[in-house]
Amino acid sequence: MQNIDTLIKRLPKCELHIHIEGSLEPELMFALARRNNIRLPYESVDAVRRAYRFRNLQDFLDIYYQGMSVLITEQDFYDLAFTYLQRARADNVRHVEMFFDPQGHTARGVAFAAVVNGLSRAIADAGREFGVEASLIMCFLRHLDEADAEKTLDSALAFRDKIVGVGLDSSEAGNPPSKFKHVFARARDAGLFVTAHAGEEGPPSYVWEALDVLGVRRIDHGNRSLEDAALVGRLAREKMALTVCPLSNLRLRVVDDLRRHPLRRMMDKGLVVTVNSDDPAYFGGYVNDNYRAVFDALSLTREEIVAIVRNGFAASLMTAQANADALAEIERVLAESK
Ligand code: HPA
Ligand code: ZN
């Protein structure tokens, strides 16, 4: 029998909750700062890593927005995404639905086109060079107002062929999904897939709003759904996937101990859970590290790990054929691991 690390590595996987700006490792941050003549408030890569101690989501977001300030040119966005996709390939990730935060860049004077063209070119090259398939989901920053999101959607519609969906991220508390009702309706009308962060720090009512007001097709995080039995019933009945990010939850103190992470209870209640890295450069682990961490902390079985991997494919926007191919490959990996 293969050891668990080998099994996790060999299984083809999806990543459905990764903020590309959150994959910016300190080494690349320094390289881009040098290239763009930007002074960072840290003297070394180690000093940056030492600053990554967060009490909550907002602590992290403050550092995350500061980190992304080194991204200026189309080539910077290319390098960011290409580096992440190479790292994903090393984890045997086959399909990525990548979040990006254009308002974090346009507010600094970076052109929307530089962001989308850089990311898309990296995605095209990664697909051609090593077969990782990826697409872009544009997130609205929920601490900004809906008018700003509307303008951002206008910009995105000029790049409709390069963006598959929209999401909602940033500071959750005090910024309920209903604040973005109109812009999400317009995104849905444009045929975009819709998802939203909900229930990471915010209450179950935010998950209800994401479902009923925004019409989302997935919930990003969703941890606090467990506080509401009726909501859990609804999510289970509708097979609504949750993109769970265990190491993120630990580092942002959404959970105080991985052994008490809600993933186990979510599975016991029949929810469709997936495992993802969120912001791997900031939270200390890529997707395989996240699988390994929950395997250990929650004493999952190998079958449960495989079930989570299968959920990722089921919850993805892959074609039915690509999905069937991935499931067949999972079976081959399992046969070899006996
Ligand atoms: N939550 C909300 N916004 C974010 C996150 C997150 O985990 N990561 C990047 N932006
Ligand atoms: Zn996230």
pLDDT at 169 over 80: yes
**What whole-number distance in Å separates Cα of residue 288 and Cα of residue 214?**
31
Q: Span 83-99, mean pLDDT?
A: 98
- Domain boundary assignment for the chain: 4-23+78-337
User: What percent of the chain lies above the pLDDT cut of 70?
Assistant: 100
CA of 238 to the centre of ligand 2 (A): 22
Is the distance from CB of 300 to CB of 3 less than 8 angstroms?
no
Alpha helices by DSSP H, the chain = 4-10, 26-35, 45-50, 57-67, 74-90, 103-106, 112-130, 146-157, 181-189, 204-212, 229-237, 246-251, 263-268, 280-283, 287-297, 302-315, 320-336
The percentage of residues in the chain with a pLDDT greater than 90, rounded to a whole number, is 99
Among the bound ligands, name the one nearest to the CA of residue 23.
1
Asked whether the predicted pLDDT for residue 320 surpasses 80, the reply is yes
Q: Which ligand is nearest to the CA of 254?
A: 1
- What confidence score (pLDDT) does residue 14 get? 98
Q: How confident is the model at residue 2 (pLDDT cuts 50, 70, 90)?
A: confident
Confidence check: pLDDT of 153 > 80 = yes
Contacts of 320 (CB under 8 A, 6+ apart): none
Which CATH number, 3.30.300.160, 3.20.20.140, 3.40.50.2300, 2.40.30.10, labels domain 4-23+78-337? Answer: 3.20.20.140
Averaged pLDDT, 210-237: 98
User: For atom 10 of ligand 1, which residue has the closest CA?
Assistant: 170
Q: Amino acid letter at 298?
A: L
Arithmetic mean of pLDDT, 250-262: 98
Distances (CA, A) of 276 to 14, 87, 98, 237, 279: 8, 14, 11, 23, 9
Integer Cα distance of 11 and 271 in angstroms: 21
**Which of 139, 191, 134 has the alpha carbon at shortest distance from 160?**
191
pLDDT at 338: 77
C-beta separation of 225 from 207 below 8 A: yes
The pLDDT of residue 1 is 72
What does the pLDDT read at residue 317? 98
Q: Cβ(220) to ligand 1 under 6 A?
A: no
Q: Write down the pLDDT at residue 130.
A: 97
Please give the average per-residue pLDDT across 294-323, as a whole number.
97
CA–centroid distance, residue 334 to ligand 1 (Å): 34
192 Cβ contact partners less than 8 Å away, ≥ 6 residues apart: 163, 164, 165, 166
Q: 18 CA distance to ligand 2 centroid (A)?
A: 6
Q: Which residues contact 127 (CB under 8 A, 6 or more apart)?
A: 133, 134
Active site residues: 200
Query: Is 164's pLDDT higher than 90?
Result: yes
Written as six digits, the tokens of 172 are 């959750």
Give the residue carrying structure tokens 């668990």: 4
One-character DSSP codes across 99-166? EE-THHHHTTT--HHHHHHHHHHHHHHHHHHH--EEEEEEEEETTS-HHHHHHHHHHHHTTGGG--EE
Q: Which atom of ligand 1 is nearest to the CA of 19?
A: 9
pLDDT computed for residue 99 by the predictor: 99
Across the chain, mean pLDDT equals: 98
Distances (CA, A) of 134 to 93, 188, 280, 287: 10, 21, 17, 15
Give the tokens for residue 315.
């919850």
Q: What is the pLDDT of residue 337?
A: 85
- Given the DSSP bridges, would you call strands 133-141 and 93-100 parallel, antiparallel or unpaired? parallel
pLDDT category, 234, cuts 50, 70, 90?
A: very high
169 touches ligand 1 (CB under 6 Å): yes
Residue range 175-193, pLDDT digits in tens: 999 999 999 999 999 999 9
230-248 average pLDDT score: 98
Express each pLDDT in 60-90 by its tens digit: 999 999 999 999 999 999 999 999 999 999 9
Distance, CA of 230 to CA of 205 (rounded, Å): 11
Give CA torsion, residues 251, 271, 338, 299, to 10 deg: 40
144: how many CB neighbours lie within 10 A of its CB? 18
Question: Does residue 22 have its Cβ closer than 6 Å to ligand 1?
Answer: yes
Is residue 95's pLDDT more than 80? yes
What number does the ligand 1 atom closest to the CA of 101 have? 10
Residue 190 token pair: 């444009």
3-class secondary structure, 192: coil
Is pLDDT of 155 > 80? Answer: yes
Query: What was the pLDDT predicted at 68?
Result: 98
